[in-house]
Structure 1
């Protein structure tokens, strides 16, 4: 069964009743961990409650430590709010990962400064290969900054960086730098090297179940429930979907209906 649950954004706290919803999730029997992914724009004032609820960890999406570049990338002047969330997470000792998408020509100069965060803070800074989820249907055939190039760049600034064991079902290659409190991770999101150990499913805000980020949805659980499906029917539908999932992200992308390119933005599917 499902033991870990992640509420994702963008910013999940734009939902008006999110805190009530989150409180009930944290009380559910059988769930060992409830985690959150957020862009941090509305999160800082809520950190004390998240700690009280027992939220296990927070992933903070932050692609740059430069305020001007932040505005250029996000088109929002909310850098200070995001950094306030970061410092509040540290203050309340909620395990924190920073997710930074490496974008050629936009934020590659931020890679080493973000690694430096791990020196003073017990955070996991994770660099993510850029994925073709830009809402414009562009389809990368090559990737300027793949996980090997990201690692090589980090090694140029931190030649003592060491590989550490990856947790089961981890999506990242993980490293530590001697003397640093935190760790560094690299997620090969476009190269898709972790598909063989992936055990994740995703439900979009519209109720679509995705067994892979690269598929276009398997079935709509919201429609199923509204049609009066029994618990057993829902269970069987889930099991069938999981049994037929693509072997990897390349196959999932190839099997998209009518061969259409990826049109979604990450904000519509979470991440």
Structure 2
């Protein structure tokens, strides 16, 4: 479906029974809503209604030009605006990578709208900021973000030689056909710059970020090259609600693609503990 918010038009993949509990799923970089297709198939089979948008910059008609347009408050506003357009007073929220960062921020700032949170790969922003400052391992893992903020240069590197580096980002975790879906989306005019603008506009909630006050499950994988253990282990300190950490041994950063059953089980288990009669 297409949903218009002001001048922006978002593409949203909606599936599952319309009477099911609503679940909004937010993808990360450099992926699209397609990254959720294995997870949503399982959630739909369990009776849930899922909505997976191509987020700001990823939907071709939701691609504003200014870097400042991609700040976290605008990304959170998109989530709430989409929910409003869908008639969802509240919803279960799932996010991976950058989508997890937006999901954390949404749950922190609008706890009344989020019934439950399942965050995949990226921990609470305060835990991540602490790890980035205090843990040399996380600082090393995050060096790529500085390169992504280099306007023009980052695009050239990622798209050179038929987007060879962009394809290499996924390693062997995704089937080739799924990699091509994301690469094809990112090689459309203006798409990669818009996606990189998330990094360029980044404003972390940081050390002062409030705890999440909604039931939360966080999934972290031991073979994630971007997110280390220090932030993952500290995440619990910033959740003032029922919380569970699930560690996936040997799984890469691309958890929804590589371990969809584990993601779906985590979401279903979290929802089972929060659904009201």
* TM-score interval, smaller chain: 0.3 to 0.5
- Structure in which a larger fraction of residues adopt helix: 2
Larger Rg: 1
The answer to which structure, 1 or 2, has the higher relative contact order (CA under 8 A, 6+ apart) is: 2
